[in-house]
A and B are shown apart, each in its own frame.
Chain A
């Protein structure tokens, strides 16, 4: 399926349209937010107390008197930056290693997969906190750590998809020609497992976004006063019953992005014919 026809197939389903719309909206917002926000994200209003929505402040003020809408618009930038690059890294190394394991088999496969099993057995959130505590929470550190941990599951998936392909004669034929492993992985197998990986990357992205927000919520993601959804929710949580807006706004933003990504993943799976529950009739 060419890129163009894939996009058309995506746009044909309602979930694809809505999902793609949400994701593009958030990405666009992250890019232009600094230019369009009405206030400085750090500026405190003279009215110190948390305040409900008004004409000046559409989503109200938080407990420190900062404009919630401004902070919500800006709050996804760090998260998107980290998770987009994190996902790319995770998918790249995970699928490559998985394909090599599936193709090589034997001892190589055994070593790779047992290592993967070991890492999967470790509760990675704790590991993550440890790394951030020792190396700081620079975006680069976050990207690499999240990229590493979220790639582990990809190894398994890519290996399973590869195992379906290696038994096919075209791979055998490439082997008999004397092709190098790298050539077989990139030229023969990758184009055939691409669809699975594409859907998986969408799923990984939404999980990573949740994890990043969870880290921020725990106080490890971004350093205050940088606006971030997870952090905003954590800070405003205690006053939620009095001032719901500072919690609701970032929550809506975060959930709409994650729902958007999931809808895209869903529509993608259907468009690529990976969704087995939708048996195709002619």
Chain B
């Protein structure tokens, strides 16, 4: 009984006034020894963050622990007084939040916030706070720690903010670090550095960690143990090695298969169906049953028990009949390089330069030439090709797309569409045909669909605008479009809020397709989605591309996704092209050091 942390059948949920409690976390068992690292992985809404917070005895407003115990160093959190709990939080167990930029108070200097952490959670005397802070900053490898204390949070980069949050968490010399998606908002290279730092801290200080992430790659890289959550339940737990190599639960297998992998230009597998909700629906059945390939009648009538084989726990009653996991037989990206070069050029950029600043005469006179966010970008996109534009945040990749869509003015250079139309002019001065032929799909479908319009109104809008179809024509066309993005017809009457994230993105794609575009601009269209949804989105895009002979300009920060979809890749850095070429060549033999850095930062998935 020397576990540092032990969760016994913890259920978290809320009690509606007139019905049974709704469980967000259902009887979770976990155990963690001192210095161990545990990864909790699952898709959005699976309850992983709720479970992590309950470890601290904290519940979001409205939620409560419905049953079970949380033991920290053998002590039941329920028995600890409010003050004692407050002392524990931030002291012996510290949380590192997902978005450090929001967790730091924007109006207080870093010093004030750092000293507060030291005052509350360490016995360092006030005179040494400064020295101790600097020491901690050095530990998390922050540059110029002295100057940093005098800065405000917004003056730091995302990676630096995350490091400050880690330093603050370390102030109380914690025995347990709780990390809630600590690298999700960061660029790949920064993410790799932060993960390395966390691993290093875990090793040198013997701090135990519970690491929550939707990214199984992150978990695999940093954790010794992995627990997989689905619909509020832990469905599989074991060592990193077993879970990654020999996953026992059908969900884990499907999850691993849906992760795009680098270097093979392969398409990931998709998972059927969608996450089950509400969570009470599967009270007496297996949570994954509806999507499971191995489901038997017993899965519907009986809740499976956790079966423990030498520390590898799997919650599935069909253990015996499940085929051992092997990476799915990926279909290769046959489109790559297979196109004849005599296809017409759809889009051509010559020395394109962009700026955020005003280019007005007075402004120029006062402030000099505007700073360029994008410079010297030249590229050629032929009919039927898919070009991936890869870069980290601030590389100017989205600016290029927005300019091509006419939402942002260009500064200099040339952008030609179909050999004759100038794309540096804004929307207002464009030919309606050009507007129709270029369609943009946005990153976040929550924002790109009007919440007050029905799906039918949304999809029919381009049909009315560009083709002046009659109501009947619109409706039949809308149904065809729903077919091609694989959504049921009855969704036409719904509002975007009634659809899941992946379904919304399908609607956004359907709206773009309604215009029968020649060029589809995709701005990080899979980034806001869960991996399994991302995989199905990639499948869909690939299918549509072949069916409709689409030319696609695909912007993403995610190399494996681009690798699976694009024929050609352009790597952007600080608004300039640092490498361009066929996808396979670039991924196999990168010549630019930055490309190599990016490729190295991509986490191994198997």
Contacts and interface: CB of A to CB of B under 8 A. Distances in A.
B58 interface: no
B465 A179 contact: yes
Interface residues of B, number: 29
A175 B450 contact: no
Interface stretch (B155-163, B180-188, B196-204, B440-448): B440-448
Given A191-B453, A281-B62, A169 B442 contact: yes
Nearest to A170: B450
B406 A176 contact: yes
Interface in A159-173: 168-170, 172-173
B407 interface: yes
A169 B407 CA distance: 11
Interface of A: 168-170, 172-173, 175-179, 187-188, 191-192, 194, 279, 281-282
A169 B515 CA distance: 18
Given A172-B442, A173-B440, A192-B452, A178 B435 contact: yes
A173 B402 CA distance: 10
Interface string B29-63: 00000000000000000000000000000000111
Contacts of A177: 435, 461-462, 465, 515
Given A281-B61, A282-B62, A176 B440 contact: yes
Contacts of B449: 170
A256 B452 CA distance: 35
B14 interface: yes
Contact of B430 (A168, A178, A191, A194): A178
A72 to B, nearest CB: 43
Given A178-B430, A179-B465, A173 B448 contact: yes
B515 to A, nearest CB: 8
Interface in B432-469: 432, 435-436, 439-440, 442-444, 447-453, 461-462, 465
Contact of B452 (A169, A173, A176, A191): A191
Among A172, A173, A178, A279, chain B packs the most CB atoms within 10 A around the CB of A173
B407 A170 contact: no
Given A169-B448, A173-B442, A282-B62, A178 B427 contact: yes
Majority SS at the chain A contact face: helix
B176 interface: no
A272 to B, nearest CB: 13
A192 B451 contact: yes
B405 interface: yes
Given A170-B450, A176-B439, 13 more contacts: A168-B447, A168-B448, A169-B447, A173-B511, A175-B406, A175-B407, A176-B407, A176-B435, A188-B450, A191-B453, A279-B61, A282-B14, A282-B62
29 contacts: A169-B442, A169-B443, A169-B444, A170-B447, A170-B448, A170-B450, A170-B451, A172-B407, A172-B448, A173-B448, A173-B511, A175-B406, A175-B407, A176-B405, A176-B427, A176-B440, A177-B515, A178-B427, A178-B432, A178-B435, A178-B436, A178-B465, A188-B450, A191-B450, A191-B453, A192-B450, A192-B451, A192-B452, A282-B61
Contacts of B444: 169
Contacts of A173: 440, 442, 448, 511
Contacts of A188: 450, 453
Contacts of A169: 442-444, 447-448
Q: Which 8 pairs from chain A and chain B are nearest by CB?
A: A191-B452, A169-B448, A178-B435, A281-B62, A282-B62, A169-B447, A169-B442, A170-B450
A169 B442 CA distance: 7
Contacts of B63: 282
Contacts of B427: 175-176, 178
Contacts of A191: 450, 452-453
Nearest to B458: A170
Contacts of A179: 465
A175 B449 CA distance: 13
Nearest to A172: B407
Nearest to B444: A169
A188 B448 CA distance: 11
Nearest to A173: B448
A192 B440 CA distance: 22
B232 to A, nearest CB: 15
Interface string B277-316: 0000000000000000000000000000000000000000
B251 to A, nearest CB: 27
A179 to B, nearest CB: 7
A282 B436 CA distance: 42
A177 B465 CA distance: 9
Contacts of A192: 450-452
A170 B427 CA distance: 15
Nearest to B438: A176
Nearest to B521: A176
A280 to B, nearest CB: 9
A86 to B, nearest CB: 28
B179 to A, nearest CB: 26
Nearest to B511: A173
Among A177, A191, A279, A281, chain B packs the most CB atoms within 10 A around the CB of A177
Interface string B1-19: 0000000000000100000
B504 to A, nearest CB: 11
A176 to B, nearest CB: 5
B201 to A, nearest CB: 36
Nearest to B457: A187
A222 B453 CA distance: 45
A279 B406 CA distance: 40
Contacts of B461: 177
A22 to B, nearest CB: 30
A177 B61 CA distance: 42
